[in-house]
Each structure stands twice: as C-alpha cells, then as structure tokens.
C-alpha cells in the first residue's frame, strides 16, 4: 500500500500536477486552482502563499478531501497568519473522487477573523463549516468544476 502511494505521488509529480511528495490533495488543489483561475504558482515551498494572480496579489490555497468514512472539520494550519503573507485564500473541498464539492475565495481580513489559533499545530485553522457563509466569501465552485466562469 505504501508503495502504491509513493508511485501515485511520483506520477503526479512527473506529469506536473503535484510539485512535492506531500499529500496529493494539496498538490492537486494548487494545480487545479492555478489552471482554472489562471494564477501563477509560486516557487515550491514558498512560505505563506501558493500563487499570484494577474494583479500580483498573493493567494494561499487550502484543500481537504472527504470520503464516506472521513468528513474533515478543518483545513490544515496557516502559520504566521498575523504576518499577512497573502491577499486572499482559496479553500477547496474535494469529494473522494477529487471532484470539487465546494470552493470559495476569501479576502485576508475575513480569514483573519475566522481563523482560530491552535497551539498544538502552532498555527491557525479554519473550520470548514464556518467558511461557506462567511461575509465576503465568493463562491467559485463552478469555476473550478469547469462549468462556469
């Protein structure tokens, strides 16, 4: 099983969908968001943001994948949130087959207001259910699915 995981990660890197050996969820989300929204991906392991838009605004991309046995409650930690390293965040929730369930774009101020610091991860987390109806949230689900925008 571990060999299969490694082979999948290697293949995703080989075809340019993922840029690291990390979770394919994050790599795929960055690739998909950049491709669909015409963003330029930052250098791999750039601290605090993942891409830039045409106006030079910095974009942080967070993603989670749900399955019948796992319903994630939050996105991975944002470290150094108070340093304002990004202008807006794009959050993507995938289904088990990697289809986009929901995606939103939030300005930094909204992220800052919603994020909760968690000492055990030394960062701030965003609770998924809090994001969908947040003030200033722009639903971009259709754009990422390819049936709109």
The rounded distance, in Å, linking the Cα atoms of 40 and 59 is 10
Predicted confidence (pLDDT) per residue in 2-15, tens digit: 566 667 767 777 77
Specify the 3-state DSSP secondary structure of 37: helix
Task: Give the pLDDT confidence of 75-132 residue by residue, as tens digits.
Answer: 999 999 999 999 999 999 999 999 999 999 999 999 999 999 999 888 999 999 999 8
CA trace torsion 40, 46, 47, 52 (10° rounding): -10
pTM: 0.86
**β-strands 88-94, 138-139 pairing:** unpaired
Task: List, for residues 29-73, the tens digit of each pLDDT value.
Answer: 999 999 999 999 998 878 889 999 999 999 999 999 999 998 889
Residue with tokens 């791999």: 44
CA 31/CA 26 separation, integer angstroms: 9
Q: Give the containing element (helix H, strand E) for 8.
A: helix 2-14
Q: Are 103 and 139 in contact (CB under 8 A)?
A: yes
């Amino acid at each position: 099983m571990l060999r299969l995981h490694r082979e999948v990660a290697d293949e995703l890197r080989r075809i340019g969908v993922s840029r690291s050996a990390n979770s394919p969820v994050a790599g795929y989300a960055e690739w998909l968001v950049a491709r669909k929204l015409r963003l330029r991906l930052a250098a791999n392991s750039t601290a605090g943001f993942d891409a830039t838009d045409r106006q030079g605004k910095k974009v942080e991309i967070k993603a989670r994948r749900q399955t019948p046995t796992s319903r994630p409650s939050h996105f991975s930690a944002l470290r150094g949130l108070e340093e304002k390293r990004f202008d807006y965040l794009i959050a993507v929730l995938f289904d088990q087959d990697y289809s986009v369930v929901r995606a939103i774009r939030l300005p930094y101020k909204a992220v800052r207001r919603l994020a909760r610091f968690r000492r055990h991860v030394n960062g701030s987390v965003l609770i998924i259910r809090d994001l969908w109806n947040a003030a200033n949230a722009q639903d971009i689900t259709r754009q990422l699915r390819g049936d709109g925008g």
